[in-house]
Amino acid sequence: MFNRRHVIAVLAGSAALFSGFGASALEKSAYSQAAFDAAIKAGKPVLIDVSAPWCPTCKAQAPILSELAKQPRFKNLVVFNVDFDSQKDALRGLKAQQQSTLIVYKGGVETGRSVGDTNKASIEALLARAI
């Protein structure tokens, strides 16, 4: 039998457990020129994340990008992932020569790029250039 203290404890625990449940997480889409063009045409800020599954710097960037994506000001940011190993044509078109490259666009114009950056503050500043 539940008493009031048990019910309150369960509710408090549930609230703590699910407090981040609705928070936005970084959702990446596979890059295609058509999807990129559609996002630009829709006036969305865009981040292109050039990464590889074996890249330690890319793995270090991932949680930083996910954390920053939770900020309300980045809620409209469209993120495309370019696979460094398999999307060589896209890499040439983007003039990206290394994995762990982050490129931001605002209004269809590249407004910033970084390579190998794992500093949260500078990545945040880069993303801000897209909004």
Domain containing residue 50: 24-128
- Average pLDDT over the chain, rounded to whole? 84
Task: State pLDDT tens for residues 89-113.
Answer: 999 999 999 999 999 999 999 999 9
In a domain, 13, yes or no: no
Q: Would you state the structure tokens that stand for residue 66, as one six-digit string? A: 């996910």
Provide the pLDDT for residue 29: 87
> What is the number of domains present in the chain?
1
Span 66-85, mean pLDDT? 94
Provide the pLDDT for residue 6: 41
Which string of b and e fits 4-15 if b means at least 16 CB within 10 Å?
Answer: eeeeeeeeeeee
In a domain, 6, yes or no: no
Percentage of the chain exceeding pLDDT 70: 80
Q: Are 116 and 100 in contact (CB under 8 A)?
A: yes
| pLDDT-based confidence at residue 36 (cuts at 50, 70, 90) | very high
